[in-house]
Amino acid sequence: MREIQAAKNNKIKALKKLHQRKYRNQSEDYLLEGYHLIEEAAKAHAEIKEIFLDKRGLRLWQEWVENHQFTYYLLSDEAMKALSEQPAPQGIIALVQKSSNFPSDFSGKWLLLDNVQDPGNVGTIVRTADAAGFDGIFLGQGTADEYSPKVLRSMQGSQFHLPIFSGDLTEVIAEFQKIDSKIYGTKLDPAAISYNEVQKNEDFVLILGNEGQGVAEDLLQLTDQNLYIPIYGKAESLNVGVAAGILMYALI
């Protein structure tokens, strides 16, 4: 165990950069905060490189950390406050390596997110996909980064229960077409059909889109069928997280 006192310590300064997407992309590492999430990461055999504890964290989790033979650091309260994204840090942060491989199997139930920008929406959708027993998720361009602190918090550990990948959705759809997976887009459109008129399939892909604009037109051209959720009242639309839940549970 090593100690870090100063909030402006070079290691702390380097780690703090991982709050920004561009540095996460350079280093292939990210920060995960809170015991519950770190425990889920360990269970899922994520590559935990280092653990940072403050005095309180050391008291609570030193034994757990040592049992797992993780490299760890004791941080002063100031150094923990500098590193943490939380107003009241829990006292434990892990440096974790991203898992960035490509799926070997595209069968089953998959969710594709096209340009879903709000981190809370992305997190809630991942959690719902986990609950609904989906096999995996692809995050397309413009979608909130799965390693951003807000997305990590709202996923509540579901990222360790089903695999999440990033990629160009046009290329990804081609992979699903190779195995004859049914591709469903979502669109409020006369050519679309109501979600509850769809026959169930073993292998399918559901594409959800941006909060304002929906799924991009070029992706909608690649689908087998586009679905909509009927609006019976006077609301203009549904929240994308709610729509995702209704559609995922109806299709499984």
Give the interface with a second copy as residue ranges (CB under 8 A): 124, 127-134, 156, 158, 161-162, 229, 231-239, 241-246, 249-250, 252
Instruction: Write the single-letter amino acid at 62.
Output: Q
Closest approach of Cβ 88 to a second copy, in Å? 18
Q: Which of residues 206 and 243 has its CB atom nearest to a second copy in the complex?
A: 243
Residue 230 backbone dihedrals phi, psi, to 5 degrees:
-65, 140
Q: Which of residues 26 and 196 has its CB atom nearest to a second copy in the complex?
A: 196
Which residues lie closer than 8 Å to 83 by C-beta, 6 or more apart? Answer: 12, 15, 16, 31, 52, 75, 89, 93
Residue 158 backbone dihedrals phi, psi, to 5 degrees:
-65, -25
Q: Which of residues 87 and 230 has its CB atom nearest to a second copy in the complex?
A: 230
Closest approach of Cβ 150 to a second copy, in Å? 14
Tell me how crowded residue 121 is: count the other CB atoms within 10 A of its CB.
22
**Comparing C-alpha atoms, which of 239, 218, 241, 209 is closest to residue 142?**
209
Residue 52 in tokens: 């940072």
Q: Which of residues 53 and 132 has its CB atom nearest to a second copy in the complex?
A: 132
Closest approach of Cβ 127 to a second copy, in Å? 5
Closest approach of Cβ 121 to a second copy, in Å? 10
